[in-house]
Amino acid sequence: MQTGFRFEQVELSTIDTSLLLGGILFAQSYFTGADPTESAIRAYADSIYLRVDWAWAVNQPNVVSMGWHPESGYINADWRGYDEGMIVYVLALGSPTHSINPASWAEWTKTYVWADFYGQTHVNFAPLFGHQYSHIWIDFRGIQDAYMRGKGIDYFENSRRATLSQRSYAIANPGQWRDYGANVWGLTAGDGPFDTTFVIGGRSRQFFTYRARGAAANEIQDDGTIAPTAAGGSVPFAPEIAIPALIAMREKYGDNLFTNYGFVDDFNPTLVDGTARYGRIVPGVGWFDTDYLGIDQGPIIAMIENYRSDLIWKTMRKNKYIVAGLKKAGFTGGWLGN
C-alpha cells in the first residue's frame, strides 16, 4: 500500500484482476449521475477495463492463463472449468478492445465434472468459493449457456446444490471431526492452524495452514477447519440453511469466532489443546484464526446484500460489458433475453 508495487514475487493474477474489475464495473453502473464526479467514475472504469489485454493472457489455445511472472513468464496453469474463473471469461469475452475467441467458453466448460455428491447432482468443485465468487457480480438466475441448457438448470441452482451437498457431507461427517453438523459446516479456501500430523483420540490427523479445503465428488480436502465465509457466501443460494448456520456458529463460539470485524477467517473445533503455529487454541473449545481475510469477508457482505436487495445483481445487469460477455458465451433467457 505504501509503494504500489507488487508483494514480493507474486504473479500477475488474472482472477484477482477480474475480481477487482467486478468492483470497478459495479461502480461504473452504480454511479449514473450527470455531475462531474460520477461522470469521472464511469470514465475511469472504462479507462481501466478497456486497457486489460485479455488476448495477451491466452497462452494456450482458447484458454486464459491463471497468471504471469516478469521473471519467468506464464505460470503453468490455465483457467479450465469449473471454478471461480467463470468471471474471467465473461470479462475477457465482453471486452470491446482485447476480446478473446468465443470458442474459449467451450474450452472452459468441456472439463466440467458433472456428478452426484451427497444427494446433489451438479457440476462439482470442492471449495465453495468456486461456486460463489463469479456469482457475487453476475446474476445467473434464469440464464443458461449451452452446457446448462443441456442439464436443465442454471448456474445459480448449481451453486445451491453444491451448498446443500456440503451441509449433507458435514452432517454425515465421514472424517468424524468434532462439532460438524447441520449448523456447523462449510469448507473453502482459508487459513489453518499448522502443517503437521498427530494423533487425536487414537486417530492420526493431518492439519494444514492455508488450504483450499472442500468436499466434492472428485476431491475432498478436509482437516476439520470450518470457514464461516463458506456459509456466508452461499446465503442467496440456500438461505434456509446458510443463515441458521451463521447464527448458530456465532452463538456457539461467541467472541472466539466473531469479534471486531465480524467472523475470523477460520476455526477448528477438533483442536482443543496444544499450541498452533497460527491463530490460537482455546482449551476445550477449539482453534480460532486471528486474521480476517478481505477476500473472505467480502463475499459474506456482498452476498447477504444480494439476498436482501439484489443490489449488485440488478446493478450489474445494466453493465454493457457483462451483458456482451455473457452473450458471447452463449447465455440466453431470463433477464438477458434471447
Q: Say whether pLDDT at 260 is over 80.
A: yes
Show which of 63, 84, 111 is a domain's final residue.
Answer: 111
pLDDT for the residue 274: 86
Name the residue with cell 433477464: 335
User: What DSSP state is assigned to residue 5?
Assistant: P
Mark whether 89 and 153 lie in a shared domain.
no
Per residue in 196-208, pLDDT (tens digit) is 998 888 899 999 9
Compute the average pLDDT of residues 273-281: 91
Per residue in 99-143, pLDDT (tens digit) is 999 999 999 999 999 999 999 999 999 999 999 999 999 999 999
Asked whether the beta carbons of 226 and 184 are under 8 A apart, the reply is yes
Asked whether the beta carbons of 79 and 91 are under 8 A apart, the reply is no
Cell of 214: 472442500
State pTM to two decimals.
Answer: 0.96
pLDDT for the residue 337: 86
Per residue in 3-22, pLDDT (tens digit) is 988 899 999 999 999 999 99
Cell of 112: 466440467
Mark whether 193 and 257 lie in a shared domain.
yes
User: What DSSP state is assigned to residue 311?
Assistant: H
What CATH number has the domain bearing residue 126? Answer: 1.50.10.140
Per residue in 96-109, pLDDT (tens digit) is 999 999 999 999 99
Mark whether 57 and 136 lie in a shared domain.
no
Mark whether 127 and 178 lie in a shared domain.
yes
Judged by DSSP in three states, 58 sits in strand
Mark whether 193 and 215 lie in a shared domain.
yes
Beta bridge partners of 78: 65
Q: Say whether pLDDT at 338 is over 80.
A: no
Mark whether 128 and 80 lie in a shared domain.
no
Compute the average pLDDT of residues 303-327: 98
Mark whether 99 and 176 lie in a shared domain.
no
Show which of 86, 111, 136 is a domain's final residue.
Answer: 111
Asked whether the beta carbons of 162 and 116 are under 8 A apart, the reply is no
Judged by DSSP in three states, 109 sits in helix
Q: Which domain holds residue 178?
A: 122-307
Cell of 61: 489455445
Compute the average pLDDT of residues 82-91: 98
Asked whether the beta carbons of 259 and 249 are under 8 A apart, the reply is no
pLDDT for the residue 1: 79
pLDDT for the residue 148: 98
pLDDT for the residue 322: 98
Show which of 111, 139, 173 is a domain's final residue.
Answer: 111
**Average per-residue pLDDT in the chain?**
96
**pLDDT grade for 213, boundaries at 50, 70 and 90:** very high
Mark whether 102 and 201 lie in a shared domain.
no
pLDDT for the residue 202: 86
Residue 82: cis peptide before it, omega within 30 degrees of 0:
yes
pLDDT for the residue 261: 92
pLDDT for the residue 4: 87
Mark whether 49 and 169 lie in a shared domain.
no
Write a three-state SS string for 87-153: HHHHHHHHCCCCCCCCHHHHHHHCCCCEEEECCEEEECCCCHHHHCHHHHHCCCCCCECHHHHHHCC
Would you say residue 312 lies in a domain? no
Number of domains in the chain: 2
Task: List the one residue out of 333, 336, 330, 337 whose CA is nearest residue 108.
Answer: 330
